[in-house]
Every structure is written in structure tokens, then in C-alpha cells.
């Protein structure tokens, strides 16, 4: 992921789908989580640099490593947090002449 480029919703949905896919694999699914958890954490920290990215990478690691929590869409929630709910929202100043 390019550091200058902002993550897209499609990328976030795709990464969440990969994380959730381990539920569908019987018997070895939990072992796949052991591989995916550190990868997901690294991707999260690259996608969202700074303190928020570090915190999100720790959360996604814990979420992926714990059983039965794969349903949580961590990447999509972080995208919503940064792009929709206002963490990175650019503010516009509108001057009104009286």
C-alpha cells in the first residue's frame, strides 16, 4: 500500500473478506488465523500510519487471533472511522459576508 495513497473502501472490504474466509475452512481455519493475524496487523499499520494505525493494528491482531471474532469487519470499521466519521475529514471554511 502506498503511503501517500488513502485506502479505499474496496480494499478494506477485500481484506475483511480474507479475514472472514477462515471461518469457512473446517478444522484448519483457526490455524489460518495464526498466519493471517500478523499479516492483517502489518497491513493495517501500513494503511493507517500514526497512533491510530498502531492502535488499529493491535486491535485487528487481537480480533483475528481470537476464535469466533472473525466476523468483525476491522478494516471497514477503520475506513469508516477515518473517512466517514470524521477522524481525517477535511474541514472547509466558508466565509460569509454580512
Name the pTM for this structure.
Answer: 0.76
Domain housing 31 = 9-83
Q: Tell me: the pLDDT tens digits for 52-91?
A: 999 999 999 999 998 888 889 999 999 999 888 875 555 5
The answer to whether position 60 is within a domain reads: yes
- The C-alpha cell 492502535 sits at 55
Least Cα distance to 78 among 59, 92, 98 occurs for 59
Rounded distance between C-alpha atoms, residue 85 and residue 77, angstroms: 10
**What is the tally of structural domains in the chain?**
1
The answer to whether position 44 is within a domain reads: yes
The answer to whether position 92 is within a domain reads: no
7, 1 Cβ separation under 8 angstroms: yes
Rounded distance between C-alpha atoms, residue 53 and residue 18, angstroms: 19
Amino acid at each position: 500500500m502506498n503511503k501517500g495513497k488513502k485506502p479505499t473502501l474496496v480494499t478494506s472490504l477485500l481484506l475483511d473478506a480474507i479475514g472472514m474466509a477462515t471461518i469457512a475452512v473446517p478444522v484448519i481455519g483457526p490455524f489460518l488465523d495464526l498466519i493471517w493475524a500478523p499479516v492483517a496487523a502489518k497491513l493495517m499499520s501500513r494503511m493507517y500510519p500514526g497512533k491510530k494505525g498502531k492502535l488499529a493494528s493491535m486491535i485487528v491482531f487481537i480480533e483475528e487471533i481470537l476464535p469466533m471474532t472473525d466476523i468483525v469487519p476491522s478494516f471497514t470499521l477503520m475506513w469508516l472511522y477515518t473517512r466517514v466519521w470524521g477522524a481525517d475529514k477535511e474541514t472547509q471554511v466558508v466565509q460569509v459576508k454580512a
